[in-house]
Structure 1
Amino acid sequence: MIEKPETADDERLSPPAGTSPAAVSPPGGPADSPPPGGPADASAHVMSRADALDAFGETKFGEPGRPLRRNPFLIGFLGGLGLALAYAVFLGLSNASSVLVLVFIALFLAVGLHPAVVRLQRWRVPRGLAVALVVLFVVGLIVGGITALVPPIVTQVGGFVEQLPSYVEALQRSRTLRELIQDYDLVEKVQSMVSTENASRVFGGVFGGARLFFGTVFNVLTVLILTIYFLASFERMKRAGYLLVPASRRARVQLIGDEILAKVGAYLVGALAIALLCGLSTFVFALAVGLAYPFALAIVVAICDLIPQIGATLGAIVVSLVGFATSLPIGIACVIFFLLYQQVENYLIYPKVMRRSVEVSDVAAIVAALLGVSLFGVIGALVAIPAVAAVQIIIREVLIPRQATR
Structure 2
Amino acid sequence: MKIKISRQHISLAIVAFILYLAIRYWTVVDKFLGRLYSAVFPLLLGAVVAYIVNLVLRQYERLYHRVAKGKALRFQRAFGLVCSYLTIIIILAFVVRMVIPELVNCIEMLVANHGKTVNRFVSYFQQNGNFKELWQGIDLKHFDWNKAGKYLTVGVGGTVKTVMSTASSIVSGVTTMVIAIFFSIYLLIFKEKLGRQCRQLLHTYGGRAERPVLHVLTVFDHSYSSYIVGQCKDAAILGSACFVGMKILRLPYASMIGVVTCFTALIPIIGAILGASVGVILIFAVSPVKALIFLIFILVLQQVDNRVTYPLVVGSSIGLPSVWVFAAVIIGGGFSGVIGMMLTVPLFAAIYRLVSEDVHRRQSQPKSSTEQ
Pick the TM interval, shorter chain.
0.5 to 0.7
Relative to structure 1, the CA distance from residue 133 to residue 157 in structure 2 (aligned partners, 3 Å threshold; closer, same or farther) is: same
Partner of 1:266: 226
Describe the SS at the equivalent of 2:319. coil
Map of 1:1-400 to 2, 5 A cutoff? 80-84=20-24, 88-95=28-35, 97=37, 103-123=43-63, 124=65, 126-154=76-104, 167=115, 177-178=123-124, 181-182=127-128, 185=131, 196=152, 221=178, 223-245=180-202, 246-247=206-207, 250=210, 253-308=213-268, 310-339=270-299, 341-342=301-302, 354-398=314-358, 400=360
Compare relative contact order (CA 8 Å, sep 6+) and give the higher one, 1 or 2. Answer: 2
Q: Distance in 1 between matches of 2:254 and 2:170?
A: 25
Greater shift, 102-111 or 196-205, is seen at 196-205
Do the aligned partners of 1:260 and 1:390 also contact (CA within 8 Å) in 2? yes
Paired residues, number: 327
Partner of 2:148: none
Q: Distance in 1 between matches of 2:270 and 2:165?
A: 25
Q: Distance in 1 between matches of 2:132 and 2:305?
A: 49
Do the aligned partners of 1:256 and 1:393 also contact (CA within 8 Å) in 2? no
Do the aligned partners of 1:279 and 1:298 also contact (CA within 8 Å) in 2? yes
Relative to structure 1, the CA distance from residue 359 to residue 228 in structure 2 (aligned partners, 3 Å threshold; closer, same or farther) is: farther
Q: Distance in 2 between matches of 1:345 and 1:300?
A: 16
Q: Unmatched 5+ residue regions in structure 2?
A: 1-9, 66-72, 139-150, 367-372
Q: Distance in 2 between matches of 1:393 and 1:336?
A: 37
Do the aligned partners of 1:304 and 1:315 also contact (CA within 8 Å) in 2? yes
Task: Give a deviation string over 1:278-324, Cα, whole Å, max 9, x none.
Answer: 31132023213323442233123212333455544443333223312
Amino acid at match of 1:135: Y
Relative to structure 1, the CA distance from residue 233 to residue 365 in structure 2 (aligned partners, 3 Å threshold; closer, same or farther) is: farther
Q: CA deviation at 1:148?
A: 2.1
Q: Distance in 1 between matches of 2:33 and 2:242?
A: 41
Amino acid at match of 1:240: Q
Structure with the greater alpha carbon radius of gyration: 1
Partner of 1:23: none
Relative to structure 1, the CA distance from residue 98 to residue 279 in structure 2 (aligned partners, 3 Å threshold; closer, same or farther) is: farther
Do the aligned partners of 1:372 and 1:380 also contact (CA within 8 Å) in 2? yes
Q: Distance in 2 between matches of 1:186 and 1:94?
A: 56
Q: Percent identity?
A: 21
Describe the SS at the equivalent of 1:244. helix
Q: Distance in 1 between matches of 2:18 and 2:193?
A: 38
Q: Distance in 1 between matches of 2:281 and 2:132?
A: 29
Do the aligned partners of 2:265 and 2:275 also contact (CA within 8 Å) in 1? yes
TM-score when scaled to structure 2?
A: 0.67
Q: Distance in 1 between matches of 2:299 and 2:189?
A: 42
Q: CA deviation at 1:141?
A: 0.7
Partner of 1:7: none
Amino acid at match of 2:260: V
Relative to structure 1, the CA distance from residue 310 to residue 364 in structure 2 (aligned partners, 3 Å threshold; closer, same or farther) is: closer
Describe the SS at the equivalent of 1:357. coil
Q: CA deviation at 1:154?
A: 4.8
Describe the SS at the equivalent of 1:358. coil
Amino acid at match of 1:327: S
Structure in which a larger fraction of residues adopt helix: 2
Please, what is the CA RMSD of the aligned residues? 4.6
Amino acid at match of 1:110: A
Task: Give a deviation string over 1:29-75, Cα, whole Å, max 9, x none.
Answer: xxxxxxxxxxxxxxxxxxxxxxxxxxxxxxxxxxxxxxxxx9xxxx9
Q: Distance in 2 between matches of 1:236 and 1:205?
A: 46
Describe the SS at the equivalent of 1:290. coil
Do the aligned partners of 1:111 and 1:264 also contact (CA within 8 Å) in 2? no
Q: Unmatched 5+ residue regions in structure 1?
A: 1-69
Relative to structure 1, the CA distance from residue 155 to residue 77 in structure 2 (aligned partners, 3 Å threshold; closer, same or farther) is: closer
Q: Distance in 2 between matches of 1:175 and 1:116?
A: 55
